[in-house]
């Protein structure tokens, strides 16, 4: 089975900090995605990548950036964390149709 690992389950950061969320997959998948999940809003796509060093904006990229230097790793960066970025962040990877998700990182910005 494909495994997608997110480095932290829970994070608490201060407003203005630079925050890195890491995601690693072990099955050589081309595509990787970052979503945020908020109650009543479902999952919203922040950024995705379909190859190393390639990235595309999703629906809500403002305040975020990403890095994909190696195929297996896709990092989400909050340049200057704000309280409205408190959320559950989910990473996923895919080869064709359908995703495999990580367990999520619940980020709280205080």
Q: Where on the chain is the footprint of another protein (CB under 8 A)?
A: 4, 31, 33, 35, 40-45, 48, 50, 56, 58, 90, 92, 94, 96-104
With respect to another protein, which residue has the nearer C-beta, 18 or 53? 53
Query: How far is 99 from 109, CA to CA, in rounded Å?
Result: 28
With respect to another protein, which residue has the nearer C-beta, 90 or 107? 90
CA dihedral 5, 7, 103, 31 (to 10 degrees): -50
Query: In angstroms, what is the minimal distance from the CB of 80 to another protein?
Result: 27
């Amino acid at each position: 089975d494909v495994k997608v690992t997110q480095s932290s389950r829970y994070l608490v950061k201060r407003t203005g900090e630079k925050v890195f969320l890491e995601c690693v997959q072990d099955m050589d998948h081309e595509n990787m995605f970052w979503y945020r999940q908020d109650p009543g809003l479902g999952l919203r796509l922040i950024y995705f990548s379909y190859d190393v060093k390639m990235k595309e904006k999703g629906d809500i990229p403002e305040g975020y950036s990403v890095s994909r230097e190696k195929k297996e790793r896709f990092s989400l960066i909050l340049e200057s964390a704000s309280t409205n970025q408190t959320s559950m962040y989910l990473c996923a990877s895919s080869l064709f149709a359908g995703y495999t998700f990580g367990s999520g990182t619940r980020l709280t910005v205080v």
